[in-house]
Amino acid sequence: MERVEQQEPVAGSKGDAIRPPLDIQAHSEQKDYETIGTPFVTDPKMTARNVNVYYGDKQAITTISLDIGRNEVIAMIGPSGCGKSTFLRTLNRMNDIIPICRVEGEFCLDGDDIYADDQDTVLLRARVGMVFQKPNPFPKSIYENVAYGPKIHGLAHSKAELDEIVEDSLRRASLFNEVKDQLDKPGTGLSGGQQQRLCIARAIAVSPEVILMDEPCSALDPIATARIEELIDELKENYTIAIVTHSMQQAARVSQRTAYFHMGKLIEVGDTKQIFTMPKHELTENYITGRFG
Ligand SMILES: Nc1ncnc2c1ncn2[C@@H]1O[C@H](COP(=O)(O)OP(=O)(O)O)[C@@H](O)[C@H]1O
Ligand SMILES: [Mg+2]
C-alpha cells in the first residue's frame, strides 16, 4: 500500500497559556499520513509494514509501519481506543482468535514472515510471549503455571530439567524467593503483583525472544507496579519488550523508544526522552501535556 502525502510536522506552540481544545475527530478524516520521527531502526527484532486492521467494517489500525528494535523496550501510548492493544496483538497473531478481525500488512520476526501460511502460531506465541492487563494465572499450582509451556513445547527432558527451568524463570521474574516454599500452592492465591510476576515467569519459561505487555500494571498497586518496572528494566538485557501503557510516567521510566498512537494511526515515534520533552507533532504534545487522553 502506498502512502501518498507527507503530512507536515506541526510545530509545538510551547508557551501558549491558553489554547482552544483540540478537535480529535478532525484528525480522523486524514487517510493518508506519514508517521513523524523514527519508525525504523538499524537492528530490528520485529518489523511491521503497512499494517491495517479491521473489526468487521470498522478500521482500527490505519497504515502503520514500525520496527521493534532488538533488546529495546518500546512503549506504546495514546488515548483509549486508539488501537494500541490491537496493534500489539498483531505482533504475535493474537488477533487471529477474534473472528471479525482482519489484519493486513507484512510482519517479520528476525526477517521471517510471521503470517506465512505454514507459521505455527503456538510456536510463534512462545517466541513472542504476551502478558495481559489482568494477571491470568492458570487454575493450577505455581509450579505448574510455569512448567506448562516447557512441557507442551518439550523443552525439558527430565523432571530435574523442568525444575531448573521453573526455578530459573521464577528467579528472572524476581518471584522465586517469595514462592520457593509454596510451589505446589495455587497461583491464583498470590497477590496481584505476584500473580503478574508469575505470568511473566510463565512467558519467560518458554524462552521467548519478544515479550508483549498490554498495560501489565494497570491492575496493580504502586509498590507492585514498581517491582514490575524494575523487572522490565532487567529483562531488557535478554529480551525485546513492547509495552502498552496508559501511564506516561511508566513509559518514561521503562522505555527507550515511545510510539504515540492516535485513532488507529501511529502519529509519532522516537526516543522516549525526545517524545516527552520535545514532541514534534501537535497531537503528541496535546496528549503528553494532558489536553486529552
Ligand atoms: N474484539 C473487538 N471487536 C470489535 N472492535 C474492537 C475489538 N477490540 C477492539 N476494538 C475496537 O478497535 C479500536 C481499537 O481498540 P484497542 O486496540 O482496544 O485500543 P486501545 O488498546 O488503544 O485502547 C476501538 O475502536 C475498539 O472499540
Ligand atoms: Mg488496550
Domain range annotation of the chain? 31-137+208-288
Tens of pLDDT, residue by residue over 98-130, are: 999 999 999 999 999 999 999 999 999 999 999
Q: How far apart are CA 116 and CA 257, in angstroms?
A: 28
pLDDT at 32: 76
Residue nearest to ligand 1 atom 26, measured at CA = 81
pTM above 0.95, yes or no: no
Please tell me the distance between residue 74's alpha carbon and the centre of ligand 2 in angstroms: 15
Does residue 84 line the site of ligand 1, with CB under 6 A? yes
Please tell me the distance between residue 61's alpha carbon and the centre of ligand 1 in angstroms: 9
Please tell me the distance between residue 163's alpha carbon and the centre of ligand 1 in angstroms: 39
Does residue 61 line the site of ligand 1, with CB under 6 A? no
Cα-based angle 242, 123, 156 (whole degrees, multiple of 5): 105
Below-50 pLDDT ranges, the chain: 1-20, 27
**Over 56-94, what HEC string results?**
CCEEEEEEEEEEEECCCEEEEECCCCCCHHHHHHHCCCH
Q: Cell numbers of 140, please?
A: 493450577
Does residue 55 line the site of ligand 1, with CB under 6 A? yes
Quickly list H helices, the chain: 84-90, 121-127, 142-152, 159-172, 176-179, 192-204, 222-235, 248-254, 272-277, 282-288
Q: Cell numbers of 215, please?
A: 498495560
pLDDT at 9: 37
CB 258 within 8 A of CB 251: yes
CATH class of 31-137+208-288: alpha beta
